[in-house]
Chains A and B, each alone.
Chain A
Amino acid sequence: MQATIISGRKDVFFSSKPWTGILQGWARLFICLFFLWVLMTYVAPWGRQTAILRPMMDIVDERGIKVTSYYYTDSEVFAEAEFNITQSLRFPPTGPSE
């Protein structure tokens, strides 16, 4: 399989030492993946338990909010919010007339 960094137009393999280059590339990939795994498994869960983040994370969990949504239709919470606001403004309780 041929492999090339496309945008940089630079081959990742050392031309004179192709196998060293291949091994270095794979080693770098696995080291990076290892760091990501550490981040996911140890650092992020630790942060979630800190006094600053925990209350926010608990609310997110309890309400089932999808924090990763980046457009309003990606989140059901937005549909609920719009529904509640429009109902409140369209049928505002006015109470019994005097």
Chain B
Amino acid sequence: MQENVKTPKSEIVVDSSGGQWSDLWKKEDYWAIWLGFIILIAGLIIYFPLGPDNAQEKVDKANATLKAEAAKAPFKTIAWYKAGSAKRFRGTETATGKSILSFMRTPQKWTSIPLDAFYRSKAVADSANAKAKPAADEAAAKEAAAFAAAEAAEKAAEAAAFKDDALNKKAAEAIAAWQAARSKASSAKAKASVKPLNVIPSLIGLMIALGIFFGIGRVVMGHSFGAFFKGFIFVFGIAVLAYVGGKQATMSYYGIGDPAWAIIFGMLISNTVGTPKWVMPAVQTEYYIKTGLVLLGAEVLFGKILAIGTPGIFVAWIVTPIVLVGTYIFGQTVVKMPSKTLNITISADMSVCGVSAAIATAAACKAKKEELTLAVGLSLVFTAIMMVAMPAFIKAVGMPYILGGAWMGGTIDSTGAVAAAGAFLSDKALYVAATIKMIQNVLIGVTAFFVALYWVAKVDRIPGQQVSIMEIWYRFPKFVIGFIVASIIYSILDAGLGKEISDNLLNHGAVRGFTRPLREWFFCLAFTSIGLATNFRELAHYFKGGKPLILYVCGQSFNLILTLTMAYIMFYKVFPEITARI
């Protein structure tokens, strides 16, 4: 058996060449696939029967209204918007969906008392509701007034047979104002609908369920269930603390979420009092990451790349690979990065979509845990800076908001920061930024696949050695296959079910209602494990000379220039009609 890596086994994922049938139940990669697919299939079984009997009929009726309204007026009418809302029968909003989500819930948002993340009494909930009620009532009144104004403006435009440009413009503006007021009223209502809470029982239940779930795999792979489960209680506990840190109201504004806190808390423990030895059987970074990545595959739906038409494909799918490959080559030839795995992890993190791309790429090329930590840290810092600086710059120079949205969607790493920066400009900028980011997110699967293939066939190859197809197969990280298969199956389901049914039962059902919350937990467990096994001095060693920072800054600068140029050409020169429709 030949080891395909030179670094110590404890540091990274090691696959041996040669294949045996027993690999199917003895190797972590395969267990990630089996566990991932059990969850993916369970999600479908739970959520698909939850749709209403007349789902297709409801969708057809709403679409007929949308078509008729679109032909009736040169702007989006009130009925146009209402027909869109009528197409919603989300699986996550059913009683079953809510029960499942409540079992998997994390600690909640809190401000000054950490205990609030776990428990909220009825008195506290009532007090919060009473405090938020005036704002909610005011927002509701504003929505009602905005609706009345929109209705009056639309009637006036209709009276002129929608042929008076001034009346049409006035109606379009009034309806847009009603939509904005509706969104604010909905948010204010949610703040005044706080319910009593106690997440402790569900956290204990989830800990036991996940401990058994992962423990079964460990037993079949030849390890002790008891030792794993005992350590898992500790790892899960730190993951819960990481969620508490990530849910702190002020810190969450900065985008410092559970992955960062998981690493921070884990590293604090390992570098001060030390990670207890009995915890180590459950410090299984790769096991959790790979299982989480198979689940992430189900969220990588290829149909999404068409969401905003050809301009989106050019901005997200042409620029991103160029920046990814360009940054990697720059890192190897100019910056002279000592570690190729760190180079590609930072390149993917910066060019594709931050933390999730870093996780997938690091696992695909078998990067060390310190390298993933470093890439994630760089991404979080620059995301926080770009989230504030980019919209301020766009406003200052008077850049069109749709162009600004496309630019931010293609360059800011984290999803949440893209949404915040887009919303700071306008609703349209938010929609464009979010859609471009979503299209870019789909590249994770392609990136992980090609990085894994390149590493197996080129980087890990002994110089002068020819690598056969079978050798590539033996060495290929199998969880990547699970990731790709999950993506393909869910993409086929997404396309086959039709846009609306898929959105309600797949996206807002099996995915958002089951696989995604579990995937978030798995990644949090993985980052906690990384922290618990990371030494500050080793981490500092990777940062020597500031090369990772230089690589990130140079790559991101290239990304900013190329994305802006492509977005301008696509949205304003080649496809201005699509920009006009948005």
Contact = CB atoms under 8 A, between A and B. Distances in A.
Interface of A: 1-8, 10-13, 22, 25-26, 28-29, 32-33, 36, 40-41, 44-45, 47-48, 52-53, 55-57, 59-75, 77-79, 81-97
Contacts, number: 248
6 contacts: A5-B275, A29-B273, A70-B356, A78-B434, A95-B72, A96-B71
Chief secondary structure at chain B's binding surface:
helix
B269 interface: yes
B272 A12 contact: yes
Q: What 3 A-B pairs come out closest when comparing CB atoms?
A: A68-B257, A95-B74, A3-B274
B416 interface: yes
B410 interface: no
B460 to A, nearest CB: 22
Interface of B: 10-11, 63, 66-67, 69-77, 80, 84, 112, 161-163, 168, 183-184, 187, 190, 245-246, 248, 250-259, 264, 268-278, 280, 283, 296, 299, 304, 307-309, 353-356, 369-370, 387-388, 391-392, 414-417, 419-424, 427, 430-435, 437-438, 441, 499, 503, 507-508, 511-512, 516, 520, 532-535, 537-538, 578, 581-582
B250 A85 contact: no
B420 A65 contact: yes
B283 A6 contact: yes
Nearest to B72: A96
Contacts of B355: 70-71
A33 to B, nearest CB: 7
A55 B256 CA distance: 18
A63 B71 CA distance: 32
B434 A64 contact: no
Given A8-B537, A12-B273, A68 B435 contact: no
B275 A6 contact: yes
B250 A48 contact: yes
B349 to A, nearest CB: 11
A71 B187 contact: no
A82 B312 CA distance: 12
Given A67-B252, A90-B66, A93-B76, 11 more contacts: A2-B278, A6-B10, A40-B250, A48-B253, A65-B423, A71-B441, A72-B437, A77-B423, A77-B430, A85-B307, A96-B74
A85 B299 contact: no
Q: Which of A11, A57, A93 has the most CB of B within 10 A?
A: A93
Contacts of B417: 67
A60 B423 contact: yes
B277 A2 contact: yes
A64 B438 contact: no
A36 B370 CA distance: 22
Given A6-B283, A70-B257, A75 B415 contact: yes
B73 A71 contact: no
A3 B270 CA distance: 9
A84 B422 CA distance: 14
Contact of A70 (B251, B415, B533): B415
A41 B253 contact: no
Contact of B274 (A11, A70, A77, A96): A11
B392 to A, nearest CB: 8
B423 A73 contact: no
Nearest to A96: B162
B352 to A, nearest CB: 11
A91 B80 contact: yes
Contacts of A13: 274
Nearest to A28: B272
B270 A5 contact: yes
Nearest to A68: B257
Contacts of A6: 10, 270, 275, 280, 283, 532-533
Contacts of A29: 268-269, 272-273
A87 B276 contact: no
A82 B472 CA distance: 38
Contacts of A69: 257, 414-416, 419
Contacts of A36: 245, 264
A45 B112 CA distance: 11
A41 B112 contact: yes
A87 to B, nearest CB: 5
Contacts of A55: 424
Nearest to B268: A32
A66 B67 CA distance: 33
